[in-house]
Amino acid sequence: MFSIFLVLITIVCFLLIVVIMVQNPKGGGLSSSVGGSKQLGGVQKTTDFLDKSTWTLATILVALILLSSLSFNSGNNESKIIDNSEVAAPATPAPATPAPATPAAPAK
């Protein structure tokens, strides 16, 4: 279960890096290469989309990290319980064999 979260976290991180690298706080990046606001989609809509996708991916990333930590901890608790129960159960020694009731025959 943890490995599934690890793969999803990696994919979301990669997408978040791509979205952040496309943005440019000075007005460059994808927004400036699209053209004027007269085009379909325009600069403002591109900026809004990049801003919303950044926040969405960041929220998904935080949720995946929290869920993965919960799944990681639940796996450890089960193994600790199993280990403790094995240690807590004392090993009972096998009963000693009683000495024979009849004495051995004298040697000739």
Flag whether pLDDT at 37 surpasses 50: no
Model pLDDT for residues 60-85, shown as the tens digit of each residue: 999 999 998 888 655 455 555 555 55
| Nearby residues of 6 by Cβ (< 8 Å), 6 or more positions away | 68
22 CB burial (10 A radius; 0-12, 13-18, 19+)? middle
pLDDT of residue 63: 94
Tell me which amino acid residue 32 is: S
Cβ 49 vs Cβ 43: under 8 Å = no
Flag whether pLDDT at 22 surpasses 80: yes
**What is the mean predicted confidence (pLDDT) over 25-37?**
55
Flag whether pLDDT at 105 surpasses 90: no
pTM value? 0.52
